[in-house]
Amino acid sequence: MKRAIAAFGVWLVAGAPHALVAAERIVVSPSGPHRSVAEAVRGAPAGSTIVIRAGTYREPPIVVDRPLTIAGEGRPRIEAIQAATLIKVVSDDVTIRGLVLGGIQPSHVDDRAAVRFERVHRCALEDTEIHAAPFAVVIAESSGCRVERNVIRGTGDSRSALGNAIHLWSARDVTVAGNDVSGHRDGLYFEFVQDARVEGNRSSGNARYGLHFMFSHHCAYRNNRLERNGAGVAVMYTHDVEMTGNTFADNRGPTAYGLLLKDISDSRLTGNHFTGNTVGLHMEGGGHLNVLDNQFSRNGWAIRLMANSPGNRFEGNVFQANSFDMSTNSRSTTAVVSGNYWDRYRGYDLNRDGKGDVAFRPVRLFSLLVTSQPPSVILMRSAFVDVLDATERALPVLTPGTLVDPAPLMAVSR
């Protein structure tokens, strides 16, 4: 029995999982025995908690190579003193929270970040502020990680080496939630990511895209606010995406989109708000998308649907105060458009079932003219355009004959 207990003790010290090793609490403070975060991390046993008290710490690159919790008390500030990534995590089961990070020098050669997680599992960055970092958070070749409730502010200076606020590459099963990011190249950037949950984030004032993802399948984007970004939001070369309850607002410019879908297939857009964008939703390539119960208001173009996007379904959407509700570059489309509310609809409902008795054609003739001759938009409010649209409604010849809502809603149902 004594021999068995002794053997268990050796196993516990030498080879037990980290969760079974007694955790140590190490306090770093400006006046305490531990005054350097980097030194505390190097000397901490696996499974320890490093508590960093209020103050400013000027630190060399910090490499976290064992399971640790690094927690700030009183919002301690850590400033980089070398031209490199500030905190690099290369161990599983690391949690960082409650810090203020800054001083990372920009580079046109290296992707320097405030925090970089590389080839790890089950790591987290929480409740942290990051200021003026080229890349704020990078997660590469990792899984099971969380980035939650962080505030990230870039310089917004397009002349400097702007990177992305939250950058995921070759990652799986990641949660990005409750973050507020601005002033970067892209706010949220995902490439080769699968099974991610992106919820409740705000991405605004970024030089290029508020959200940009490619080759990132089986992901869900819910209740995010993406506004006032240079080119809006672009998502490409992806299938099986859910976008629910998001707001795409005030993304304006000649190449700006509330949401650009390029070669996206078998995905769902439900309950989103597109407001104040040059183009609310642009769909090119891909297809078989369900666009349901969204609201489009005060956009230049609410929806641009290209001919190479087959088999899409638009139902239950609300179109209000848009310059153009829908436009396309083809007279033939396989899209199903039914049961939407159009504020330009002037039909009637004799049987009072809530649906118009006369079909509605959402593509204005003038929108086709503007598509082929953009300078003609200057005629938008002229009497000529009113006559043009009235003529096409009476004798529809040039607008797409298949892009028709046979049962337009008479009122907004929500």
For range 390-400, the mean pLDDT: 61
Give every CB contact of residue 100 below 8 A, 6+ residues apart in sequence: 72, 75, 76, 77, 78, 128, 129, 130, 131
CB-facing half-sphere around the CA of 232: CA atoms within 13 A: 28
pLDDT above 50 (res 50): yes
Report the pLDDT value the prediction gives residue 46, as an integer from 0 to 100: 97
Report the pLDDT value the prediction gives residue 394, as an integer from 0 to 100: 59
pLDDT band at 92 (very low <50, low <70, confident <90, very high): very high
pLDDT band at 97 (very low <50, low <70, confident <90, very high): very high
pTM metric for this prediction: 0.89
pLDDT band at 400 (very low <50, low <70, confident <90, very high): low
pLDDT band at 4 (very low <50, low <70, confident <90, very high): very low
- Tens of pLDDT, residue by residue over 229-264, are 999 999 999 999 999 999 999 999 888 999 999 999
3-class secondary structure, 54: coil
Structure tokens belonging to residue 271: 């309950």
pLDDT above 50 (res 76): yes
CA 371 to CA 85: how far, in whole Å? 46
Q: What is the chain's mean pLDDT, rounded? A: 89
Give the E-state strand segments of 74-134 in sequence order.
Answer: 77-80, 87-89, 95-97, 100-102, 113-118, 124-126, 129-131
- Tens of pLDDT, residue by residue over 171-211, are 999 999 999 999 999 999 999 999 999 999 999 999 999 99
Strands 68-73 and 209-214: unpaired
3-class secondary structure, 39: helix
The alpha carbon dihedral of 330, 291, 171, 176 has a sign of: positive
Domains delineated in the chain: 18-229 (2.160.20.10)
pLDDT above 60 (res 15): no
